[in-house]
Structure 1
Amino acid sequence: MNRFVPFLRDAWLRCRARVAPLAAACRTRVRALCAGALHRLRHPTRRGVALTLAALPVLGLLVLLVLLAFVPFTPSIGDIRKARIDRPARVLSADGQLIAEFRSVNREWVPLKQISPHMVDALIATEDHRFYTHHGIDWRRTLAAGLHTFSGSRQGGSTITQQLARNLYPDEVGRAPTLTRKMKELITAFKIESVYSKDEILETYLNTVPFLYNAYGVEMAARTYFGKSADQLDIAESATLVGMLKGNSYYNPVLNPERAVQRRNIVLGRMAQMGMLSPRQLAKLQRQPLRVDFEPQTAQPGLAPHFAVQLRKWLIAWADRNDHDLYSDGLVVRTTLDARLQDMATQALTRQTERLQAIADGAWRGPSGCGLRNDLFRGFMRQTPEYRQARDTGLADEIALKQLGANRAFMHALCERKTQVQAGFVAIDPRNGAIRAWVGSPDFGSAPFDHVAQARRQPGSTFKPFVYGAAFADGMRPGDTFVDRPVAIPIDAHSVWRPTDAEPPTGEPMTLRDGLALSRNRITAQVMQHEGAAKVAQLARAMGVRDSPLDAVPSLALGTSPVTLKEMVSAYGTIANRGVYVAPQMITRIEDRDGKVLAAFGSAPPERALPVAAAQTLVDAMRGVVDYGTGADIRSRYGIRIDVAGKTGTTQDNTDGWFILMHPQLVAGAWVGFDDGSVTLRSDYWGAGAHSALPIVGSFYDAALRAHAIDPHVQFSPDFRPRSAPAPKRRAQHSGWFDWLRFFR
């Protein structure tokens, strides 16, 4: 050990002596190189380049960090996969028929192989000619676009993938011309390229790009502008559609055909540059005129459009609560609607409203109808923008009206809009509340307003069963009588209510059965006075009139508080169901796209609203309406012999016509009128519910019986049927010398 230490020291000294000259030479060489480099870097340009090269790694790191910071704010891979396989919710009837599809946009997805190859060629040549070689970002094009932007001439640099990112995720990516948005777009484009193949990206892009007029995707665009499918597009048509991508409105071939042709020819030129067209083809195609077969593609209303609209509102809330997307998850919604009954209801309502429309057109034709001689119509004219515009120019009222009156197109359009007959129909199974048919208007396209669930109208005499139901619940009998005499009921210290009928008072006793069957206002008013308005209103709410407010005043007996048709038919279902209310039901279950049940819905819990005996007595009394009363056409005209009961209703001045018919298995009701309550059919006969609304229900029941949708042998409580009173000598009249006396019927 003592010898080893001196040995190491001597070895180190010898090594250092040998290396020292080499180290000195290296130091001299390095100093010379540094001196030369510093001398060369004294030139500003060389120094700037050196600094830039030195900064590139730092800048690259900063860009990477910024991009990573934006990753959480861009769509996830799962979201991107889901975007391409969006499926609308499908709504099915109880018998499996398609009622509606709920889509976010008007689009029909077609695979790439069903899209014209000319469309693909035009798109790639114009929008992204290096599409198959880049990975979402064309850096050369992006750099060129940036240089053009700095020079003051903006130029698009987005690839097809980047455009797809904006189209698929407008909220997450956005469209603002900011660096933040561009960063999100770049990241999303990279993600899309990592998930999709190139063909899948093209297919998704061509199926999601908008083309105006609610046409999304190339299939709807081809139908809208050329009246054909996407696989039938020729070269010129494909170039026209691709040309629209630069500016849908600016290059709209319908509104701006010259611009559309110019842009189309530019697209054709790009295709020629890419070798997709020969010079001869290019010259020939650029000379072609623009051929457009324009027809906007509107979504088909479906079997039950008003029902579907109401259902959509409920489903949106359900989907939000349960973390589902109604428009993309492919949900299957099974409903209570019966497709056969729905078709029968639609046909019955359409036939009757067409008949009534002809009557309305005749009644309102001429100067005394839709003309200046009619003060009501003059009021309609004053409500129009055209009238207000005329007055704003300084014209006096009378001169403005005369000028508008001379405009035949204006007068015709206003008359048609105001005198359009409207109607609603709904049918419900009283045993479980299942809605079987729902028609909200004669034509959903021109009248989307729903007269089943949205419109609140005075029910007239169809409200009377609640009055008699309260009386029967209190122990009164159908054979009990009130004298048919003038009635005066004090409202307050200054007003008195005096209900009237078409016929003058007889001064004779009339049974409750006949008072209801013949729809006598004076008898009903006396029953109401006996029971109290508050009690009747409470019973009506318990039976199903739960959304519309009811004024607890004596005139409520004659239906002065507006309600919906759905509420009234539901309440009549309570009568048919032995006094038990079951809330209306639209849905039975919801499934995912694979058939897994996500939610099942049974009938609502039953609620006792009317004692069984009172409900049975009320049904028996309402049999008289169709046996010999105001609804006797059900028997005589439509030949319906099954056990049914119902009630007609007509409001003051024949503004609203109602009829509701009950069977143990099905309750159906119809309303007929105009959206403007001041417009009527101008006929006491046709304005009565027995002649306006009853035919809809009668035709429906007749068709349902023929189709065996209703069991004709089922009866209301066969073990309870009081002996009916004999029919009166005179049937109820719907018109006559005393119609002007009627307040409600």
Structure 2
Amino acid sequence: MLFARLKPAAARFGALLRPYLARAWHHVRHPTKRGVLIAVAALPALLLLYTIVLIPFTPSIGDIRKARVDEPAQILSADGKLLAEFKPSNREWVPLAQISPHMVDALISTEDHRFYEHHGIDFKRTAGAALHTFSGDRQGGSTITQQLARNLYPDEIGRAPTLTRKLKEAITAFKIEAVYSKPQILETYLNTVPFLYNAYGIEMAARTYFGVSADQLDILQSATLTGMLKGNAYYNPVINPERALARRNTVLGQMVKYGKLTPAQFATLSKKPLRLDFERQTETPGPAPHFALQLRKWLISWADRNDYNIYSDGLVVRTTIDSRLQSMATAALRQHAAQLQGVANGAWSGRNGCVASNDLFAAFMRETPDYKRAQDAGANDADALKQLAADRGFMRNLCKTKTEVQAGFLAIDPRSGQIKAWVGSRDFTDEPFDHVQQARRQPGSTFKPFVYGAAYAAGAKPTDTFIDQPVEIPLRGGEIWKPTDDVPPSNRPMTLRDALAYSRNRITAQLVQTVGPDKVANLARAMGVRDSQLDPVPSLALGTSPVTLKEMVSAYSTIANDGTYLEPRMVTRIEDRKGDVLAEFADASPQRALSAEADRTLLDTMRDVVNRGTGASIRSRFGIRVDVAGKTGTTQGNTDGWFILMDPQLVAGAWVGFDDGRVTLDDYWGQGARSALPIVGDFFQRALRSRLVDPRARFDTEVTPGAFETFRDKLRAWIDSLTGSHEAAPAPAAPPHRAPSRAPAPASAPGAVVSPASAASSVTEVWESGGGVPSAASGASATRDMGLPPILGPASAPSPAQPAQPAPPSYPAQEPSLAPTPTPDVTDPDTPGASASYTPPVAQPQGQ
């Protein structure tokens, strides 16, 4: 409809325009002298008009001033140490006075001999270049200022050989000349021009190609680097030395032409060969490179929102990292990972190691591009493997890549959420992949506290028991899940406290059935596991859903912070170059994840992991006597080793494993208690010695009785006074703050950690939906089923007596050995029994 209405109007407009178009076409076909003169005069006017239109699309004067200043953001630790500088490239700025005058002479003689005479555009040279180009000999006519414009603003100006690009380049060159003096332009140019091999600026180029500083460059070295400016790759002195030599002599000839060199000097110098001292220059990673890499992403986003440039505005970013703790974490991780590397190297050497006859290593060989190329060339599987096995360099590199032990470490202050130490790998230069935030691995038994926390939130007590018996849990699809431990079932009651201390899988599996996987997943998310997907299935209790180390340490910080989650943060303040505060970042808003009562019960229970359970070497080996709690973790097949330790002021966690999950350590070294725990223990030992962690700090785990418990106790006392009953009431739960106790004697069966109470006081405890307290009358068996499965199963099952509380253990005063020698620690029950022998790794299925 609309088109039909517009069609007549368009026809009328075309009819009016047609005579003018016909007249214009007639003048083009039959030009007159007057018409030619008008056209010739109109071209410059149109060009000028187009140039004026382009001005807003070129860098502003303010941008040009910022580019010259070039003050990268400085990243400082909480104690004022420089962690990193965010530079746009591998460049070190040097003033013109610290650049060899030979370099300046060679540059001006070759690239722009009228540099001091023009104002950004050399019209004579531009016209000459245009004439040569029209005649078929293309030449460049750009001045040093125009080249600087391209180097500083490649995106705004572009690289295409078009009229628009040349006009933008000329406009920007005029602006640069208006802002900078000639020496400043030379200094900026020489500090921004690229020289291949990630070397930007003359200082990095001098170090890369000749092993000297910019002020030490001689005439030949200066001429060689100047010659590269015509085409870095084409005149690369490393791979194209003949071209580079010829181009160097051309530069020397230009220096003679413009009086910077005598003919006699040229005759002598032009006969000398290239003398390179080539070495790639790498940026120093700094003390916290993985942290800095994550911070850079965050800072770029912040700067974009607030109109700042992290490369040139001189921002000073004050972070939460403590450089002393960072140094301790790095040293601890490297030391213990290197010791584990020796174990791995020994396992993979010899006949059953990195050889084609090892089925696992043969699988690695088949996954390489080299194997695919061999097959594409016609080789069958056996021939391809034989061909690759004969290449020692290939086999050595593949073996190193696959069997390199990796680790990650993170420490957070639970009171504020501030990240204090972050080590993403053993060596950032060799392995920039971050095992703190990027790697997702199964957490194993370090996930169990969420199960017990959810149980305590539902009203369970540490003294509640389950029967240590075989467990079969039906899953969707008709499958049966049968979790096991490293010891056979004892068929006796075990308290929740002991089950967590000794990391019993069968007890935890029964507990998650009672609590529900959904509640466990929800609690884990509330506590800090917020980015990874958690599958609400029964096996989640044993840590089958992959998570990051950062999430786990953050969640444990919630446990250490009385059940209150604080989002981890990296930055406290951002300042400008003058020290004025641009932004301050307060602690994140606290979020209640777990009730204080349940959290304190969980924390107290986790003390026993360190005091007498799977993490006992924190006490026995590292001599750490302060109030701490934690949890070990080992995944199926010893693929991943975990340990997280909580102190009132610092929570630290480590992960150890291989980038390829098919590679594992043995049943002994692969356990989290022997792979990850030493890193955390060493770190805490160093931090305590340096008094960076207060050894007097204590967790507040006193639980205030709720209104229901108070009313129940008063009611019970009133009933007893009326009936005159003097029978002993059931043994109360252990007080939350327990004295450290030693592990059971080796002769004791792992399942026999509790003894049955007398028959007269046999009680079956279940959780009540209201207050979650055991319902038991004095001296009689009673069960109140509120829809939850009975904890003990059959009503006839005996309840455990409260174990006696032994005196706090005494620890050796001398410094424990840091060598990874076998210790009598409790074996992490996620893995098979400990064994010092080792068999070559084979593909291991992921499991609980």
> Same fold judged by TM-score > 0.5?
yes
Distance 1:59 1:737 in 2: 86
Instruction: Report what 1:5 is aligned to.
Output: none
Letter paired with 2:505: N
Q: CA deviation at 1:52?
A: 8.9
Q: Which of 234, 246, 267 in structure 1 is aligned with 2:218?
A: 234
Q: Does 1:637 align with 2:637?
A: no
Q: Does 1:649 align with 2:620?
A: no
Q: Does 1:706 align with 2:689?
A: yes
User: Comparing 317-326 with 707-716, which one deviates more in the overlay?
Assistant: 317-326
Distance 2:742 2:42 in 1: 104
Q: CA deviation at 1:63?
A: 3.7
Distance 2:42 2:434 in 1: 65
Q: Are residues 151 and 723 of structure 1, via their aligned partners in 2, closer, same or farther at CA, if it must alter by over 3 Å? A: closer
Letter paired with 1:576: A
Structural mapping, 1:93-492, within 5 Å: 93-492=77-476
Distance 1:449 1:278 in 2: 55
Letter paired with 1:570: S
Instruction: Report what 2:668 is aligned to.
Output: 685
Q: Which of 510, 513, 516 in structure 1 is aligned with 2:494?
A: 510
Letter paired with 2:567: A
Q: Deviations over 1:212-261 (max 9, x none)?
A: 11111111111111111111100000000000000000111111111111
**Is the CA contact 1:501–1:743 (under 8 Å) kept in the aligned structure 2?**
no
Distance 1:609 1:138 in 2: 70
User: Per the alignment, in what secondary structure is the counterpart of residue 400 of structure 1?
Assistant: helix
Q: Which of 569, 575, 585 in structure 2 is aligned with 1:585?
A: 569
**Is the CA contact 1:222–1:229 (under 8 Å) kept in the aligned structure 2?**
yes
Letter paired with 2:54: F
Q: Deviations over 1:403-430 (max 9, x none)?
A: 1111111111101100010000000000
Distance 1:61 1:335 in 2: 56
Distance 1:548 1:187 in 2: 51
Q: CA deviation at 1:492?
A: 2.8
Say what the alpha-carbon RMSD is for the aligned residues: 2.0
Q: Are residues 510 and 252 of structure 1, via their aligned partners in 2, closer, same or farther at CA, if it must alter by over 3 Å? A: same
Distance 2:398 2:304 in 1: 42
Distance 1:737 1:87 in 2: 56
User: Comparing 630-639 with 369-378, which one deviates more in the overlay?
Assistant: 369-378
Q: Deviations over 1:328-383 (max 9, x none)?
A: 21111111110000000000000011001111011011231211121111111111
Q: Are residues 292 and 254 of structure 1, via their aligned partners in 2, closer, same or farther at CA, if it must alter by over 3 Å? A: same
Instruction: Report what 2:798 is aligned to.
Output: none
**Is the CA contact 1:148–1:154 (under 8 Å) kept in the aligned structure 2?**
yes
Higher Cα Rg, which structure:
1
User: Per the alignment, in what secondary structure is the counterpart of residue 171 of structure 1?
Assistant: helix
User: Per the alignment, in what secondary structure is the counterpart of residue 476 of structure 2?
Assistant: coil
Distance 1:202 1:512 in 2: 74
**Is the CA contact 1:501–1:742 (under 8 Å) kept in the aligned structure 2?**
no
Instruction: Report what 1:6 is aligned to.
Output: none
Distance 1:450 1:151 in 2: 57
**Is the CA contact 1:461–1:744 (under 8 Å) kept in the aligned structure 2?**
no
**Is the CA contact 2:633–2:828 (under 8 Å) kept in the aligned structure 1?**
no
The percent identity for this pair of structures is: 68
Distance 1:695 1:674 in 2: 17
User: Per the alignment, in what secondary structure is the counterpart of residue 654 of structure 2?
Assistant: strand
Q: Are residues 605 and 256 of structure 1, via their aligned partners in 2, closer, same or farther at CA, if it must alter by over 3 Å? A: same
Instruction: Report what 2:63 is aligned to.
Output: 79
Q: CA deviation at 1:733?
A: 2.9
Letter paired with 1:80: I
**Is the CA contact 2:615–2:673 (under 8 Å) kept in the aligned structure 1?**
yes
Q: Deviations over 1:476-510 (max 9, x none)?
A: 11111111111111113511111101111111211
Instruction: Report what 2:545 is aligned to.
Output: 561
Q: Does 1:597 align with 2:556?
A: no
Instruction: Report what 1:66 is aligned to.
Output: 50
Distance 2:497 2:505 in 1: 13
User: 5+ unaligned residues in a row in structure 1: which ranges?
Assistant: 1-46
Q: Are residues 473 and 58 of structure 1, via their aligned partners in 2, closer, same or farther at CA, if it must alter by over 3 Å? A: closer
Letter paired with 1:697: V
Letter paired with 2:416: N
User: Per the alignment, in what secondary structure is the counterpart of residue 122 of structure 1?
Assistant: helix
User: Per the alignment, in what secondary structure is the counterpart of residue 426 of structure 1?
Assistant: strand
Distance 2:640 2:428 in 1: 20
Q: CA deviation at 1:715?
A: 0.3
Instruction: Report what 1:733 is aligned to.
Output: 827
Q: CA deviation at 1:579?
A: 0.8
**Is the CA contact 2:668–2:834 (under 8 Å) kept in the aligned structure 1?**
no
Q: Are residues 239 and 354 of structure 1, via their aligned partners in 2, closer, same or farther at CA, if it must alter by over 3 Å? A: same
Distance 2:69 2:833 in 1: 67
Q: CA deviation at 1:734?
A: 4.9
User: Per the alignment, in what secondary structure is the counterpart of residue 589 of structure 1?
Assistant: strand
Q: CA deviation at 1:742?
A: 13
Q: Deviations over 1:142-172 (max 9, x none)?
A: 1111111111110111111111111111122
User: Per the alignment, in what secondary structure is the counterpart of residue 684 of structure 1?
Assistant: coil
Distance 1:180 1:210 in 2: 24
Q: Are residues 743 and 143 of structure 1, via their aligned partners in 2, closer, same or farther at CA, if it must alter by over 3 Å? A: closer
Q: Deviations over 1:233-292 (max 9, x none)?
A: 000000000000000001111111111111001100110111111122111111111111
User: Per the alignment, in what secondary structure is the counterpart of residue 437 of structure 1?
Assistant: strand
Distance 1:342 1:408 in 2: 38
User: 5+ unaligned residues in a row in structure 2: which ranges?
Assistant: 1-31, 704-735, 747-824, 836-843
Q: CA deviation at 1:59?
A: 5.0
Q: Are residues 471 and 58 of structure 1, via their aligned partners in 2, closer, same or farther at CA, if it must alter by over 3 Å? A: closer
Structural mapping, 1:23-42, within 5 Å: none
Letter paired with 1:386: D
Q: CA deviation at 1:54?
A: 8.9
Q: Are residues 703 and 157 of structure 1, via their aligned partners in 2, closer, same or farther at CA, if it must alter by over 3 Å? A: same
Distance 2:832 2:527 in 1: 37
Q: Are residues 484 and 157 of structure 1, via their aligned partners in 2, closer, same or farther at CA, if it must alter by over 3 Å? A: same
User: Per the alignment, in what secondary structure is the counterpart of residue 461 of structure 2?
Assistant: coil
Distance 1:534 1:53 in 2: 85
TM-score (normalizing by structure 2): 0.80
Letter paired with 2:146: Q
Letter paired with 1:496: I
**Is the CA contact 2:340–2:675 (under 8 Å) kept in the aligned structure 1?**
yes
User: Per the alignment, in what secondary structure is the counterpart of residue 342 of structure 1?
Assistant: helix
Distance 1:379 1:733 in 2: 31
Q: Deviations over 1:567-620 (max 9, x none)?
A: 111111111111111111111111122222121111111111111111111111
**Is the CA contact 1:484–1:508 (under 8 Å) kept in the aligned structure 2?**
yes
Q: Which has the higher helix share?
A: 1
Distance 2:307 2:832 in 1: 64
Distance 2:585 2:431 in 1: 31
Distance 1:470 1:172 in 2: 57
User: Comparing 396-405 with 114-123, which one deviates more in the overlay?
Assistant: 396-405
Distance 1:727 1:581 in 2: 32
TM-score (normalizing by structure 1): 0.91
